[in-house]
Chains A and B, each alone.
Chain A
């Protein structure tokens, strides 16, 4: 139940070939990286293809590939519905509602990071940037830990029986990621997306098509699932309930759908994809590319659990998966997170659905996915520490230069990688939960001020700050107190109450406090709080500044600047048309 020696060699060849490519990209990019604008937002010169692919690849990581198939397997096919939400509102909605306005506002205000954008938008000079910078650094690191943990589950299948192999691999990955990020910055992270996205799409499509064919088509797949659910049902789900929506677990699914959909809107690593875009056309075509990519990858990832459970396995697919997880983890009993081994089971077990020889390449692709998403998180977190917390926060009065800030960014990269690697050496269970917690917490602070700030002039800095802090506190407390999988015996305060108290019932499910995701609760607090405080606040925003800003972001005007970014002219067919200079505004370019 592991790769054979020849396949293991192929894995390492493919893996190091990919890493080698990244290093070359890093070295080439370093020659293009002349200033902090280049490093952080690729000189705002990214075209449509890379804008779209970069968004898609940043959206989905190893967490998706490990966590999603497992949830479908255990909790039912209704979880695939999340793909529709992620596609329509998480991707297309984000591009339509946020894309061009974010791009123009970030350029007009000279913002390189999301905290900077929010602080400049609300004309706050003291608190928003350093606090947001710190929040982002902390929760991006937590997200990063979940990614490294996903990596561990995959890499375990490479070294069955070797005790510290995963830990060594994590350290190597961390070192490589940090090295080429320090060298290349945003340019290298964005171009590596192109390579990674091609590998991921090819691998996932092969996995899914191979799985359906091996099972004998959709009808056979469904019949096998019915038989397996009858013998290994969880949470009382019948076969019909497994295949249909709604069922007893629908509230949990909707919570996950909301956080994975709207959680991207306020996530700094997603918002900064728009900062790097060259023009409106890049956003528009980028939307089509991102949507197509998200559909293929997200659908395949969720569907993988469906395909896996529908495989014709003597004794049942679930029993086989549990045995596989136990053997791979080297434990005496079935691990609690056995369902997270779905993807490795489909790749390297006796019932693997990939063609012989392809498993190694696919494993390398998923490893690559983890690394490149990780890069962007590290970049965002280190930028937040250096620029928002350090340069414009605690050292605001000391006139720190951009060059010095760049140095701090690079030191921060090293520090964050070291912290993440140390945390990942003792990985937590339930990586999807951890990932969603970090998204919920980040969005608690940023989502409402960011989105409202793009459209509503009357929001105040006090409202942005207070609503963010209160919502973040609520998100963290809700997770710690109510999340059944994370609630420790030392914190029994409200856990039992959260599980047993009925809030309301439907014909299909009953909702308890612990069923409600911290994202929904924190946004439920943040949204009214922001608008109420803004309405009551007597310290009103500067009307002239806002009129000028909103005139610009809602018009066709563009600031006259050299946008000939390194990858501005990457084309696929006729989509990536060259930038047409539209110098219609003579205002001073941003700092």
Chain B
């Protein structure tokens, strides 16, 4: 199934914003999470999603 770039863009943006909102909610709820751990793993998750996104787009559309 081919999906166009707009779909992936929206998906990635949704995930990015979702991660940030999730972290804010977790923090705001006062959960005892270490800032270092949340930031580090949050960044790793965001990077991973981005790489998957770019790889998928390249498979589907090249330089379009």
A interface residue numbers (CB < 8 A to B): 76-78, 80-81, 83-85, 87-89, 92-93, 96-97, 218, 243-246, 279-281, 284-285, 287-288, 291-292, 295, 299, 303, 306, 507-508, 556, 577, 580, 582
| Pair B12/A81 contact, Cβ less than 8 Å | no
> Which residues 14-34 of B have a CB within 8 angstroms of A?
16-17, 19-20, 23, 27-28, 30, 32-34
Q: Which B positions have Cβ atoms within 8 angstroms of A?
A: 9, 12-13, 16-17, 19-20, 23, 27-28, 30, 32-36, 38-40, 42-43, 46-47, 50-51, 54, 57-58, 62-64
Asked whether A81 lies within 8 Å of B54 as measured between CB atoms, the reply is no
Q: Which residues of A contact B63 (CB under 8 A)?
A: 279-281, 577, 580, 582
**CB < 8 Å A-B pair total:** 89
In-complex Cβ contact of A306 among B13, B20, B36, B42 (8 A): B36
Q: How far is the CA of A279 from the CA of B33 in the complex (A)?
A: 42
Instruction: Identify whether the interface residues of A are mostly helix, strand, loop, or mixed.
Output: helix
B53 to chain A, nearest CB (A): 9
Q: How far is the CB of B46 from chain A (nearest CB, A)?
A: 5
B50 touches A92 (CB 8 A): yes
A85 to B42 CA separation, bound complex (whole angstroms): 10
CA distance A264 to B29 in the complex (A): 29
Across-interface contacts of B36 in A (CB, < 8 A) = 77, 80, 218, 303, 306
Docked-complex contact A92 and B46, CB < 8 angstroms: yes
CB distance from A53 to the nearest CB of B (A): 16
A89 touches B20 (CB 8 A): yes
Closest B residue, CB atoms, query A306: B36
Q: How far is the CB of A531 from chain B (nearest CB, A)?
A: 21
Is the CB–CB distance between B64 and A84 below 8 Å? no
Task: State A556–B57 Cα separation when bound (angstroms).
Answer: 14
Task: List 4 additional A-B contacts (Cβ < 8 Å) besides A76-B35, A88-B19, A291-B46.
Answer: A80-B36, A93-B13, A93-B16, A285-B54
Please, which residues of chain B bring their CB within 8 A of the CB of A78? 35
The answer to whether A244 and B32 touch (CB under 8 A), given A80-B39, A81-B39, A83-B39, is yes
Residue of A nearest to B15 (CB): A88
